[in-house]
Amino acid sequence: MKAGFAHRDITPAASMKMAGFDRRKAPAAGRLDALQVSALVLCDEQDGVLVLLGFDLLGLNTALCDAVRTAAAEACGLAPECIWVSATHTHSGPTLPYPAQDAGVAAYIEELLSRAAEAAAEALAAAVPAAAEFADAPVRGLTSLRNRGRAGSDFAMPMPVFRLHCGGQPLYFLRICCHPTVLNEQNLLYSADLVGRIRTALGADALILNGACGDLSTRFTRRASDAAELERLGALPAQAALRAAYTSAPAFGSRLRCAHRRFSLERWLGPQGEERTALMAAVRRKADACTDTQALREYDSILAVLERPVAAPQTRQLCISAAHLGSCILLGIPFEMDHADSLSLESRLTALAGCPVYLICYTGGAESYLPSGAPLTENSTYEDFAALFSPESRAQVQKYAEECVRELL
């Protein structure tokens, strides 16, 4: 197996509208730290190649992911199917509608495509023989089950880590499961947020992908929303990765295979008219009765969703990706997903595949939350209110995910 790594700075030079918080209306006012696109290239001995791209962005829609695949594939001389596109889900990056109508946004996207292609090509050219090690490195004190209030803050975030030895300093490839939102809606500076601080604390090249964290965040573990708290929380997963007990993973990268499952879903319009008005009134009553400032964010976020303009009916083209890495399978979905839901899906697919299956969200698209499947009521969570698709879509997406994994077996 060979591995190579490269990255490029993708921080916008200009002020742009920021993504991630409905209540934040002002555009970016500067830069706290760099946004990056990171490229990890793996090559097996049968000429199989996989290029894993991770963007410090909230998400990239399906069309933009396809454009990235095309640009990176051309730069590397590979088929687009070999290119994996994920986002870390920072809420301190630019909003990226694609295709872009605004000239400034369009120019930035062209730059984004160019830098992603450069990083992929450089990583491929830098690929050298590598030996892999693996560790499970759970992290406490970072993530809370935010829908359980402060009772959910004693949570051990699962974190699988691969450490690759390529002749020099180790290269890390890891998955977190956490909304990387130490910085809140008051922040107007571009930042990779939590993921950027994890990379800095590791002191080594690292590709960090994000898993199922629909209901996981730093809401009840962070003490503030500033650079100092970023340093504190970012050090936790870095220390876990650096101190973990690793074992050899000789099968990692031994045979690389990719699959993509494309499908379409009708966007759900959600509650309308009097039903919408009644839901807003019920949520406002709950907000008025809430005395915990952090818990109040749940109701404020729901109200922000219900205050959005009603979307027009639309058919969305979606993509699920899967990559067999020899010792495990990555399953990429274009959604945010509830953590318990993801554990159930991972367990079922791991039994099917005979090797660990790790869910990676914000991959191949950006379609907000995968609904829980329960009917929407005043007691539903923010995640269900923010879902773009009907409760019934959950079962469809899980079926397509299983089909994608089966294709690799």
Task: Report pLDDT for 147.
Answer: 80
Structure confidence at residue 159 (pLDDT): 98
Q: Is the pLDDT of residue 119 over 90?
A: yes
pLDDT the model gives residue 18: 97
Contact predicate 138/129, CB 8 Å: no
Mean pLDDT value of segment 271-291: 91
Tell me the torsion sign for CA atoms 231, 40, 6, 108.
Answer: negative
pLDDT of amino acid 305: 87
To the nearest whole percent, how much of the chain has pLDDT over 90? 84
- Listed ranges 154-158, 172-176, 279-283, 392-396; the one with the highest mean pLDDT: 172-176
pLDDT at res. 22: 87
Note the pLDDT of residue 311.
Answer: 73
The string of pLDDT tens digits covering residues 89-117 is 999 999 999 999 899 999 999 999 999 99
pLDDT at 157 over 80: yes
Mean pLDDT, rounded, for 349-356: 98
The answer to whether the CB of 152 falls within 8 A of the CB of 146 is yes
Helix or strand run (H / E) with residue 81: none
Q: What pLDDT digit, counting tens, does each position of 62-74 carry? A: 999 999 999 999 9
Encode pLDDT of 299-345 as tens digits. Answer: 999 998 888 887 777 899 999 999 999 999 999 999 999 999 999 99
The three-point CA angle 77-78-80 to 5° equals 130
Alpha-carbon distances, residue 79 vs 50, 74, 240 (angstroms): 10, 8, 36
User: What is the average pLDDT across 64-88?
Assistant: 98
pLDDT for residue 294: 85
Give me the mean pLDDT over the 283-287 stretch: 93
Identify the pLDDT of residue 271.
Answer: 85
Predicted model pTM: 0.94
Q: How far apart are CA 83 and CA 75, in angstroms?
A: 11
3-state helix, strand, coil in the chain (%, to 5): 35, 25, 40
Q: Is the pLDDT of residue 355 over 90?
A: yes
Q: What is the pLDDT of residue 373?
A: 87
**What pLDDT, on a 0 to 100 scale, did the predictor assign at position 272?**
86
Pick the range with the lowest mean pLDDT from 126-130, 244-248, 351-355, 387-391. 387-391
pLDDT digits (tens, 9 = 90+) for 210-244: 999 999 999 999 999 999 999 999 999 999 999 99
Alpha-carbon span 143 to 115, nearest angstrom: 32
Q: What is the residue-averaged pLDDT of the chain?
A: 94
- Cα distances (Å, whole numbers) of residue 59 to 35, 71, 161, 200: 13, 18, 23, 22
